[in-house]
């Protein structure tokens, strides 16, 4: 790890100013992702701006939904009674995502901003367009079991590692962002980028912008929601495939549905095709499988991960089947 300077700003404005004034600065909160990358040499910021003690906590109810502060710890969010009652998919995703020790330190904003867990991204001796733009993608000719089957490009086939973000994608969450003199909200679906020609950029954040909160909208159907994570081992492995879903049934037919997938794309993947295929349909395993097949018709698996297509199809059907049983 290289030497770096450290600043602890007194407020949000000062934090933003520090990052804007120092091109090689980075925000630090829980540090569960950034510090690992600094140790590996993946990132070498010359200045760390500590935002972990800024007043960015709090889980507050408001007219438009629930506002979750950027500094809220994952353990706090997963245990909050309102989240557990109204958004169980989010609580379950957080509990599936990491060990208690990590959840006690990791923050809401930091979880959203996790970088990929691609082994070639972590190995600084190998070419990686995400780490070193224009150097090439070692994964294309390497081990691809854990890589993308949706939305990838010739420049990057890595997947996003977060569980929390998949649940938030299904919940239509919005990200509250502060600039020096303005604030904006970004739909989570627009917050993340596909790799395209510039895989080094994971999000649409601009330089210096600081996440201050995530807003979960009022979504009554989210009370009937859940999260399924399929992984190589039961204890805190990253998802091969994950599914966040919420379902509302009225008069024997699916009135509304939300589905998001993890472990399959560069960003949490909103399954819009599957959602459209299910609205107005009587719930059944055949209907769930058909909707999943519609979503995965555009999948382009890599050499070692064609199994993910079938796994994702079955995981979608199993998750929706569980929700169907719970509303009977």
Q: Are 36 and 65 in contact (CB under 8 A)?
A: no
Residue 311's CB is within 10 A of a number of other CB atoms, namely 17
Half-sphere exposure at residue 298, Cβ-oriented, CA atoms within 13 angstroms: 12
* Coil vs helix vs strand at 259: strand
Taken in order 198, 231, 216, 68, the sign of the CA dihedral is negative
In a domain, 301, yes or no: yes
In a domain, 283, yes or no: yes
- Prediction pTM value: 0.96
In a domain, 71, yes or no: no
Please list the pLDDT of the chain residue by residue as tens digits (328 residues). Answer: 689 999 999 999 999 999 999 999 999 999 989 999 999 999 999 999 999 999 999 999 988 899 999 999 999 999 999 999 999 999 999 999 988 898 999 999 999 999 998 999 999 999 999 999 999 999 999 999 999 999 999 999 999 999 999 999 999 999 999 998 899 999 999 999 999 999 999 999 998 899 999 999 999 999 999 999 999 988 788 999 999 999 999 999 999 999 999 999 999 999 999 999 999 999 999 999 999 999 999 999 999 999 999 999 999 999 999 999 876 5
In a domain, 314, yes or no: yes
Q: What is the CATH number of the domain that holds 25?
A: 3.30.43.10
Q: What is the CATH number of the domain that holds 305?
A: 3.30.390.50
Total domain count for the chain? 2
Look up the domain containing 12 and give its range. 1-53
In a domain, 207, yes or no: no
């Amino acid at each position: 790890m290289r030497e770096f300077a450290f600043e602890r700003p007194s407020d949000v404005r000062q934090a933003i100013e520090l990052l804007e004034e120092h091109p090689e600065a980075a925000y630090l909160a829980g540090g569960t992702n950034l510090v690992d990358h600094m140790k590996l040499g993946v990132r070498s910021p010359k200045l760390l701006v500590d935002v972990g003690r800024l007043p960015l906590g709090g889980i507050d109810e408001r007219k438009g939904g629930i506002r979750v502060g950027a500094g809220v710890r994952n353990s706090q969010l997963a245990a909050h009674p309102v989240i557990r009652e109204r958004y169980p998919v989010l609580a379950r995703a957080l509990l599936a995502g990491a060990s208690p020790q990590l959840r006690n330190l990791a923050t809401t904003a930091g979880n959203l901003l996790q970088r990929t867990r691609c082994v070639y991204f972590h190995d600084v001796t190998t070419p990686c367009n995400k780490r070193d733009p224009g150097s090439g993608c070692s994964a294309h000719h390497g081990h691809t079991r854990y890589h993308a089957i949706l939305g990838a490009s010739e420049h990057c086939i890595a997947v996003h590692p977060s569980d929390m973000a998949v649940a938030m994608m299904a919940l239509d969450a919005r990200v509250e962002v502060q600039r020096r003199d303005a604030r904006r909200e970004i739909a989570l679906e627009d917050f993340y980028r596909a790799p395209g020609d510039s895989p080094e950029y994971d999000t649409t954040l601009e330089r210096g912008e600081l996440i201050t909160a995530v807003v979960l909208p009022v979504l009554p159907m989210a009370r009937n929601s859940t999260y399924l994570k399929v992984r190589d081992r039961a204890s805190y492995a990253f998802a091969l495939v994950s599914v966040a879903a919420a379902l509302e049934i009225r008069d024997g037919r699916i009135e509304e549905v939300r589905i998001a997938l993890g472990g399959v794309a560069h960003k949490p993947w909103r399954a819009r095709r599957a959602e459209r295929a299910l609205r107005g349909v009587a719930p059944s395993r055949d209907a769930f499988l058909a909707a999943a097949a519609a979503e995965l018709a555009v999948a382009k698996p890599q050499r070692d991960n064609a199994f993910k297509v079938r796994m994702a199809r079955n995981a979608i059907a199993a998750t929706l089947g569980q929700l169907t049983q719970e509303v009977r």
